[in-house]
Structure 1
Amino acid sequence: MPPVSPDRPRSAAAAPSPATAAAMTGAVDLAAVKARSEAAARAASAPPPAGGQYVVAVDQANFQAEVLDRSFQVPVLLDLAGARSEASQQLSPLLDKLANEARGRFVVARIDVDGNPQMAQMLQVQAIPTVFAVISGQLVPGFQGSLPEPQLREFIVALLDAAAQAGLSGSVAAADGDQFEPGGPGPADQPSSPAGATDAAGPAQPPEDPRFSAAEQALDDGDFDLAAERYNAILAAEPANSEAQLALRQVGMLKRLSQLAPDVLARADAAPDDAALQLSAADAELANNQIEAAFARLIGLIRRLRGDERSPIRERLVEYFELLGPDDPRVAPARRELANALF
């Protein structure tokens, strides 16, 4: 889900499946607003990596804390390596060297695939080594195999730039002379700017809007109605606030997901013309990253319905399109299919 505002990174929402497994599979997980805000809160209260502790061994027990939660503080490079892989033996020491050189601007989290085959399977690893980046809870594709040091430095520069755009403290771009250059020093000697400061990287991020903080706190407490009320209050004052508009849709989605019956898909498949069941089943599919299935379910229902019966189905599809964003490659074809079904 793309950020709605360049100033406030948008979180994605938790699916019915556990947040950790969802993030590891790269699921869309519409609106992990709640799960990711919890992770961000844990990261804010957790100490930053201690000096010299910029490389950590990761397994299922500490993946949440050392990868997902930590990625709200600094970007995390997830290195899936194997002791029997010659390329891993070349790449891992280089990653460690650059992480220590950067002194906490990013962290290397290493998974031994031989000892953690389930994690490699969950991450759909096809080759060893494989590197992912994790920024603010989002899994970003990296590369497979080893890279020479100059290319690896370029990759890390791009990683730090992406983290800076996501507003991570400790990930602002360093001054020109302190960036990772092929064969050159890392950005280790540039400390992060405090909130509200400006440096060679440009202006710092603006302070948090207390209205959004209050709404997110209600969501963090599981009070969907209060969160919706607070987002609606923002929209009453600023009807064109696109961030509040999207957040309100996400809250509605989360509330519906919290009320889904475990057997909703089976019940919907047994009653293909029950509009309410089909809407609930589509929510479940969307939350589990079965995007095309959710679209096909509702577009098929529109083809079978007539007149005003189709309105709530069309509105739900439009909501999905807006939640996913126009850059999602599945949205444009689904919009065309919807238009064909309607006309």
Structure 2
Amino acid sequence: MTKAAVLKSGVLAAVLSGAAFAQTTLHTTTTLVVVPTLVETAGKELVFSLKADDFVLTDNGVPQKVMLEDASSRPLSLVLLMQTGGAARGQFPSFANLDTMIASILGPAPGDVTPNKVSVVNFDSRPEAASPFTSDVAQWKDAIDHPDAGNSGAAVFDGLEYAIGLLKQQPANMRRAILLISQEHDDGSHAKAKDVVRDLGETNTAVYSMTFSAEKTTLRQEFRHSSHPHPPITINPAAGSFLGYYDLSVPLNAAIGAMHKNMSAEIAALSGGETSSFDNAVELGDDLNVLNNHIRNRYILSFYPTSQTTGLHTIAVRLVHHPELLVSARRNYWLEAQP
């Protein structure tokens, strides 16, 4: 992987811990909390062969009885959520052979007893209709590798809410995950970040976010395809008289856009997933190979909460005898007191 995965909570963590959620109505259907957990060395090598009693998991600071499940007992339901509108059109070449990469994440061949499954959703200013969940991603090859250009929108949060709704309909024993391929920040959603994080927590859904810079992609596209009658600008005069015809509003918009936080990464971190960034097909392929390895080798921890307090619960996972190892797991979940 050419770029290190970034896990952070930042602005959203502060928002989520505040009073904005004090009056939120929550709806959970089970008290079993599933916590996929990745363990690595300081050198980013995966650690295997740990057992349930190696982990300490606390819920609001209170240790819980942890179960370690066989990953094969929880097949994966994955929504591939792809941005096709706005700046994403400049990244379409990066999506070449994406179907092959997704097939490797799904793993077991069609016909297995409990195959992993994927549904494909494209979005621009709104999410499009989803393909049915299937273990044979090849049937969606053309739609994945050659997406239709959408409009100028990039409603990331609306897309996430739509994907969560699809995953809610999957069997309770499935692991639920969203692979989000999009720009870094939302543009035009009606859904709010706090609602997305709440729903992710209620459904035990992890977000794996692969982001590109909308500003950088737009700038590159403008240089490649600009035919606008703007004054010429001399590029690097010392090297010659190379001229570029360029719309000066573009770098201004890029500078403003760069001020926004990478909210896709924030969502991924809080859900227990991970994030990385890419700028071309090679980088996206490298990132997906790492993600494939991580998804397959996460420990599936679960517990029944001893507290039925309604609202936000904070999770912390650590290792008893190996404090030097790096542990990545979801940081919270939502609970409504059972009737």
Global fold match (TM > 0.5): no
- The two structures have a TM-score, normalised by structure 1, of 0.26
- The two structures have a TM-score, normalised by structure 2, of 0.26
By percentage of residues, which structure has more helix? 1
By percentage of residues, which structure has more strand? 2
